[in-house]
Amino acid sequence: MTLETVARATLQALSKGDTETALSYFHPDCIWTIHVDEADLSFAGRIQGLEAIRRRLGDVQSLFEYLVFKPLNVQLNDDTVRVQSEVALRDRETATTFFSKARLIFQMRDGKVFRLDEHHDAAMLGAFMRLVELQRQQGTNDTPEPPSFTDPAYAPAEVARTTLAAGANGDVNGTRSYFAADCVYVIHIDTEVFPFAGRAEGLDAIIARLNTLQELFEYLFYKPGKPQAIGDTVRVRCEVSVRLKTTQDIYTSSMRLVMQIAEGKIVRLDEYHDAPMNEAYKRLADMTSEGHGEGEGNGS
């Protein structure tokens, strides 16, 4: 295996929680340092040896589920491999999701990882851990209650925020109270690519669409940006990653939402995606599905 292959295989095993496979890529005397304040992350810092690495992996897996660990950029220099990765993980107790980028530096010896330095955005990770700790103390990660029409909090930006919070938690029923009875929801994707796209009108049709999306996809992360409100119109850009349940293919992208708000309710929602990326993902999912079908046929 090349050094790059070893680094990628290590990351893949770590992302899947496959401890034994991950350990097989580490040198017996490996040093692994997570450069984060141990006050924020108890298992951070420097460790050495396979048994210490095994314990760390156990600590990580007991607290978090890795949703995405995707190498974006790999650079080789003699026996050193530098990797920038996209990372999304979910706290198992509160279901709160952290999305960021990590920088990993692998130093190799005898075809094994002899040293691994893992760097994160310390401020962002610290803020995430403080949020998780607060939610653990409260014992809840519930969707906020919908704002009252008589409360100043029903301003359009706040309606958008609370709706997106419900969506991020996968709370379809919780989103119902934020839509007007005659709301129009348009997903601007060719219906030949995704049949559930296009225009849905009325609360029942919208809830049915949201349930269909939940049935088809596992939402790995759904990270809204700051809502931008002008009058009764709110625009939000969201980072999203989903896994198609039938093929396990992952789609990661950003989308743009435009909400029209009236009397504290969404009367129109337009959802825009990167059309070429959606089409490419659909082709990949179709190819994966066909491959699974052939495999099943050959085994019969």
In a domain, 143, yes or no: no
Model confidence pLDDT, tens digit, residues 6-21 = 999 998 888 888 899 9
In a domain, 293, yes or no: yes
User: Do residues 168 and 283 both lie within one domain?
Assistant: yes
Model confidence pLDDT, tens digit, residues 45-60 = 999 999 999 999 999 9
In a domain, 144, yes or no: no
In a domain, 22, yes or no: yes
Mean pLDDT of the region 262-286:
83
Decide which of 233 and 224 is more confident: 233
Q: Taking the model in full, what pTM does it have?
A: 0.52
Residue ending a domain, among 114, 138, 162, is 138
Model confidence pLDDT, tens digit, residues 283-300 = 777 776 665 454 444 443
User: Do residues 31 and 83 both lie within one domain?
Assistant: yes
In a domain, 263, yes or no: yes
Provide φ and ψ at 73, rounded to 5°.
-145, 125
User: Do residues 158 and 291 both lie within one domain?
Assistant: yes
In a domain, 146, yes or no: no
User: Do residues 71 and 101 both lie within one domain?
Assistant: yes
User: Do residues 200 and 90 both lie within one domain?
Assistant: no
Domain harbouring 130, CATH code: 3.10.450.50
User: Do residues 167 and 292 both lie within one domain?
Assistant: yes
Work out how many domains the chain is built from and give that number: 2
Mean pLDDT of the region 36-40:
88
Q: What is the DSSP string of the chain?
A: --HHHHHHHHHHHHHHT-HHHHHHTEEEEEEEEEES-TTT-TT-EEEESHHHHHHHHHHHHHHEEEEEEEEEEEEEETTEEEEEEEEEEEETTT--EEEEEEEEEEEEETTEEEEEEEE--HHHHHHHHHHHHHHHHHT--PPPPPPPTTSGGGSHHHHHHHHHHHHHTT-HHHHGGGEEEEEEEEEES-TTT-TT-EEEESHHHHHHHHHHHHHHEEEEEEEE---EEETTEEEEEEEEEEEETTT--EEEEEEEEEEEEETTEEEEEEEE--HHHHHHHHHHHHHHHHHHHHHHHHT-
Residue ending a domain, among 138, 169, 187, is 138
Output the pLDDT for position 203.
Answer: 93
Which range marks the domain in which residue 288 is found?
Answer: 152-298
User: Do residues 97 and 169 both lie within one domain?
Assistant: no
Residue ending a domain, among 113, 138, 163, is 138
Model confidence pLDDT, tens digit, residues 123-168 = 778 877 887 887 787 765 444 444 443 344 458 888 888 888 777 7
User: Do residues 16 and 103 both lie within one domain?
Assistant: yes
In a domain, 147, yes or no: no
User: Do residues 269 and 247 both lie within one domain?
Assistant: yes
User: Do residues 292 and 158 both lie within one domain?
Assistant: yes
Model confidence pLDDT, tens digit, residues 67-78 = 777 888 899 998
In a domain, 118, yes or no: yes
- Give the range among 15-19, 30-34, 90-94, 173-177 with minimum mean pLDDT: 173-177
User: Do residues 157 and 19 both lie within one domain?
Assistant: no
User: Do residues 157 and 283 both lie within one domain?
Assistant: yes
